[in-house]
Structure formats: structure tokens, C-alpha cells
Structure 1
Amino acid sequence: MNIYNFDLNLLRVLDALLRERNVSRAAERLSLSQPAVSNALGRLRELLDDPLLVRAGRAMQPTPRALSLEAPIRDALQQIEHTLNAGDFFDPATSRQRFVIAVTDYVELICMPRLMAHLAQVAPGIQLAIEHLTPSLPAAALDDGQLDLVVGRFVEVPTRFHTRRWASETLQVALRSGHPHVGETLDLEAFLRLRHLWVHGGQTRGMVDQWLEEQGLSRDVAYTTPNYLQAAHIVARSDLAAVLPTQLARYFADLLPLRLFDLPFDLGSFRLDVVSVAQRERDAGLQWLIEQIVAVGAGAAQSSRSVD
């Protein structure tokens, strides 16, 4: 096949069809009419000598040939987009760019109010769409452009991604004021006697339980939840204990009848990172936003230290 005789716009249509598996939704994504997308699919089938997508009930299923083309075509289109955008001038004051970011509820609470207040002053037209962050890095969503960046704690990040430190965090124990089983201090023995709430975030084992297991110890986890924000409210109205990130624990201690204690063993700190696709390092708008997020993280950490 001669690439100079191939209409490259057809690749955009094929990419949209493979994403949506539906002609109508693909047409909406491309801002084209449904007949135009159907006609483009017909041309693709003829040029590639393959049906590409076949109807299965109400959905359309890609053929093996289409699946083999999906990732290379998407990578090529993204590379073209990033190359064309590399020299673009970015003016935050006038930009109306929309960014999709995946974060945990903890990061959203600590970071996003500050970030939105800042953007209202310097970039009022920018829009943020927040997605829930799973425990593992959503690499595929970053690769195919569904996500612009993520903010969270990741054990390993592949080299094709760019990482910036957002914050370093520690953990504290939160208990309700007047808890009947804890006095002025919390040692390891008292910690292990407590009934615990664990915010699992989709993990099978957290930092605390990993340390305890290494010491041949365990705690009584009576309640598990994926949600940090509800955890503090539940602890404030029960005799459960929760281990929370320090910034979050202090935030809720100002709002709820909670007492905070240091962990009775040293887990050190852990880092939270901003992760984006390395190929987008020359995307001026995205890099500007990352700088704002990093600055907000540093400000939040400074505010947290100032109460010590």
C-alpha cells in the first residue's frame, strides 16, 4: 500500500470506531454525520481488505486485523498531535483547555480546592474532569489519552511515563475524642487492642499490615472501606481506629471530634507523584498544569508542617 495514496483521515475514523464500537458514538466523537462514518468504514474495509468491525448483537466487535492495528494507529495519532502541539503558545489566562485527571478522594480533597482557587485567578477558562484512581497506575488510559495525568502513590512507574513528586506523606492514627480504651499516649500494645477501620483503596494489604505481618503481629480490622472521606466520620462516631494520611487526618481533626496519635512504630514517609506520558513533555498546557499541581502540593505540605 502506498501511504501517499491513503487518506490519513480514515485512521481517525478507525480509531474512533475502535474506541466506541458504535458508528453513532464514533460519529459524535468525530463531529461527523453517521453516514459519513459509515462511508469511511466502507472505504477502510476495501483498502485493508478486512471487515474490521462486525456486528454482534447491538455492539460491533473488532476483527483480529483491527485489533492488531488499534495500538499502532492510536500511538501514531497521538505522536502527530503531540508534535503539532509542541510549538503551540499556551496562555493560561485565555486557555479553555480541558484536562482529565485521576486521583484518590484523599488527593482530591487536599489538592483540588486549592488548585481550583488558584486557577480561578490565573486560568479561569481551564476545566478539570476528575476520575477515580485505582490502586494500580492506569497506564492504558494514559497511553491512549483518556487521562492527561494522575496523582497518587505508585510502587512502580514504567519508563515511558514522566514522574514529578507531588508530596511526601506520613500516617497517623485517628480516634474519637473520649475513646474509652486510649489515654494520653498510644503504644504498640494499645494499638493492637483496638478495633480498626482500614481504607483499602482496592489493595489487598496496606503498609501497616505489611509491617505487622513482618513482625509476626496482626490487628483486628472490623471495617473496611475504599473511601477516606467517610472513614473519618465513622471513626468520630464509633470506637474504631483509622490510620490516615497526616494531611487528611489533620484536616478532619479540625472539623470532627478526633484525636490524632503518631503510629507506635516507624513506617517512614511515602511519596505521591504526578504521572503523565513522557511524550507529552512538550505539551505546554499540560506541563503548566503539572507545575501548578506540584506548587499546590508544596503549599499543602507547608501548611501541614506549620501546625506541628
Structure 2
Amino acid sequence: MKNINNYDLNLLNVFRLMMQIRSVSKVAQKLGITQSAMSHVLNKLRAQFDDPLFHKTSHGMEPTIRAQELYETIIDPLENLTRALQITHVFDPLASHRTFVLGTSDYLEKLILPKLVRYLSNTAPNIKLKCTNYDDTKLSKELQNVDFVFGRYSNPAENLYQQTLWHDKFITLANVNHPRIRNKTISINEFINEQHILISPTGVGTSLVDKQLAKLGYKRNVMLTTHLFNTPIEIIETSDMITTMPERLAQYSSDTSKINFITPPVNLEPFEISMLWGPFKHNDPAHKWMRKTILSIAKQGQTS
């Protein structure tokens, strides 16, 4: 049995045209090559199949019996392949029943999901969303089991794609009627002596605030640790505890008439919130559409 690797399959298209047109000059013109180049291709075909394939007659180039047998064998697969290569997959959101899996936190869900669900209900009513917590340690596994993950990623794996959605910064929140905090600023001593709610999405029990305080030789009084972002806001509105969290979510979620927004007394750098996805779905038209949709929603009116 002859090895297919020894054959130049690109020549099959030339052979197909020769069988259909029966003219060296016309096939050369259709392919955009010179007649001498076409003759060279024919010689390669003849050598490849060990047969003359075509004879010149007064009626044009007539195929040999071997050529006719080859044509009958390859024409259907070749036509199917040609059609497949010409197919452009166009994504229709109205007709799609796709389920997209989003790896996120309640911070991102609060800021993205309401708008996204409203948009999909009109534009893609059969598309489903599934939100799941996503461990950052899985980012090296090319995100095959989720469509997107959202969060702060300063140095994701090189094989992942990244799109910045927005910029945010940290703000300290206190009840507007807090007995000791009345201004928009607070000293570091006042800060560490208050009762804090620590938000730790990973559950490790420390945060950037604690790391910055430790550098200065301080430790705050943490009374409650939670992995959620939204619960502390409700507690702050009805207690004397304070918390430090992303400003964008605080502005979006809180009753600003009940909350005092305070500049933290330690240096907390602004940060980017990004959307990541893996290489396997990068060129998928449905995935491209959803990426564009999420980015558009993230940019709409900031927190509106």
C-alpha cells in the first residue's frame, strides 16, 4: 500500500479542473499560472500516479482509463472538502441555545449579571448562563471547563487571553452615623482600633490591607471574615463595623445616604478587573460574540 504522505494532495484540485475543463491553457488561466507552469504541474501529477492521465486530441485533453477511475473515486470527497472550507460559521444569538460558564465572584456578578441578563433576554433569549466560583490555581489548565473567568490578574499564563473590563480602587466604608468616624479621612491608629469586616474571596483570612498594615508594623481588629463582597455592605449600614472593599461595587450596591466613603490610611494601589479565556474557544464565533457583549456592558456608564 502506498503511503499518502508521499502524495502532494494539492495537485488533486488541478486534476479535478483538468477532468472538468479538458484544456491546459484554460485551467492555467483559471488558476492564475502560466501554461508552462501548468505543464510542470501535469508532469508532477503523471509522476505521482504513474500514468499519462491525459492525451491531447482534436477534442481537447482526453483522460485515460486510470484518470477516469481516479476522478470517480476522489470527486465526492474533494467537493465535500471544498464546501467545508468555504463554510463561514455565523453565530445567530436569537437561535442559539448555548450555555456559557462564568467563573466569577459576587463582586463581578453584582456588576455584570443584571445588565447581561437583561440584554440577553432581548437579544439571545435561549442562551443560558452558569456562574461558578473559580480557583485561580486552575488558570494554568487553559480554562477548558469554563468560558470566562473574571478578577484581578496581573500576570496570567501566557496561553490565556486577557481583556481589561474596568479599573477600580479600594475605599473604606463606615456607617454615616458612626460614633467615631465623621470625616472622609481616618488616621491609621483610628483605623486599626475599629472593628473590621475582612473580605477574603479565597478564604485565606488576610488581604492587601493586612499586608500593607504589616509592612508598617500594624494589625487591625478583624471581627468578621467573609468570602462575599455584598454582605459587609448590609452590615455596615446597620452597625459600627467598617470594611475596605472595591469602590465600584460599594457605589453600586450601597445606600449612599447611609454610608460614609473614606480614604484608607494605607497605600492601596488601584487595580484592573479583567476577563480571561482559554485558547480552545478563542476563535469560536459564539464566544467572540459573548466577549464583545460582556465588554460592552462593562463599559456602559461605569456603574449604572
What are the within-5 Å matches in structure 2 for residues 29-178 of structure 1? 87-134=88-135, 136-139=136-139, 142-143=142-143, 145-178=144-177
Q: Which residue of 1 aligns with 2:201?
A: 201
CA distance in 2, matches of 1:235, 1:141: 38
After superposition, the Cα gap between the structure-2 partners of 1:140 and 1:194, relative to the gap in structure 1 and judged at 3 Å, is same
Q: How big is the shift at 1:257?
A: 2.4
Q: Is the 8 A contact 1:101 1:149 kept in 2?
A: yes
Give the C-alpha shift of residue 142 in structure 1. 4.9
* Partner Cα separation in structure 2 for residue 209 and residue 154 of structure 1: 20
Write the distance in 2 (CA, Å) between the matches of 1:153 and 1:192: 26
What is the Cα deviation at residue 155 of structure 1? 4.1
CA distance in 2, matches of 1:131, 1:87: 32
Query: For 1:108, what is the secondary structure of its paired residue?
Result: helix
- 1:111 and 1:300 in contact (8 A); partners too: no
1:157 aligns to what SS in structure 2?
A: coil
CA contact (8 A) 2:134 2:149 kept: yes
Aligned amino acid, residue 173 of structure 2: A
Contact 1:142 1:149 in 2 (8 A): no
From the superposition, tell whether residues 192 and 273 of structure 1 become closer, same or farther in structure 2 (CA, over 3 Å): same
Note the alpha carbon deviations across 1:208-244, whole angstroms, 9 max, x for none: 1121122222211111011112111122222110111
Q: Is the Cα contact below 8 Å between 1:253 and 1:260 reproduced in 2?
A: no
C-alpha RMSD over aligned residues: 2.5
Larger Cα-atom Rg: 2
For residues 137 and 275 of structure 1, the distance between their equivalents in structure 2, rounded to whole angstroms, comes to: 14
- Residue identity in the other structure for 1:147: V
Counterpart of 1:242 in structure 2 is 243
Matches of 2:138 and 2:295 in 1, distance apart? Answer: 20
Which portions of structure 1, spanning 4 or more consecutive aligned residues, are displaced by more than 4 angstroms? none
User: Cα 1:153–1:297, aligned 2, differ >3 Å: closer, same or farther?
Assistant: same
Structure 1 residue 253: Cα displacement: 2.6
User: Aligned to 1:138, what secondary structure does the other structure show?
Assistant: helix
Aligned-residue offset at 1:256: 7.3
Q: Deviations over 1:179-223 (max 9, x none)?
A: 111122322232222111001111533121121122222211111
Corresponding residue of 1:192 = 192
How far does the alpha carbon of each residue in 1:71-101 deviate from its partner, in whole angstroms, 9 at most, with x for none?
A: xxxxxxxxxxxx99x9521112222211111
Number of residues paired by the alignment? Answer: 219
CA distance in 2, matches of 1:248, 1:179: 21
Q: Work out whether residues 115 and 293 of structure 1, in 8 Å CA contact, stay in contact via their aligned partners in 2.
A: yes
Is 1:223 the counterpart of 2:224? The answer is yes
Residue 194 of structure 1 aligns with an amino acid whose one-letter code is E
What are the Cα deviations for residues 74-130 of structure 1, in whole angstroms up to 9, with x where unaligned?
xxxxxxxxx99x952111222221111111011001110011111222222211111
Question: In the TM superposition, what is the alpha-carbon distance from 1:283 to its structure 2 partner?
Answer: 0.7
Secondary structure of the corresponding residue to residue 164 of structure 1: strand
> Structure 2: how far apart are the matches of 1:114 and 1:293?
9
Q: Distance in 1 between matches of 2:209 and 2:116?
A: 30
Return the offset for 1:255.
6.9
**1:300, distance to aligned residue in structure 2 (A):** 4.9
Counterpart AA for 2:139: A
Task: Name the residue aligned to 2:69.
Answer: none
Q: Give distance in 2, aligned partners of 1:203 and 1:269.
A: 22
- Give secondary structure in 2 for the equivalent of 1:163: strand
- Taking structure 2 as the reference length, the TM-score comes to 0.66
Cα distance in 1, alignment partners of residues 280 and 133 from structure 2: 23
Does the CA-based 8 Å contact 2:251-2:303 persist in structure 1?
no
1:292 partner SS: helix
SS of the residue 1:167 aligns to: strand
Tell me if the contact between 2:194 and 2:221 (Cα under 8 Å) persists in the aligned partners. yes
Q: Give me the whole-angstrom Cα distance separating, in 1, the residues matched to 2:292 and 2:228.
A: 27
Separation of aligned partners in 1, 2:211 and 2:258: 29
Cα contact 2:203–2:227 (8 A) shared by 1? no
Q: Distance in 2 between matches of 1:237 and 1:285?
A: 44
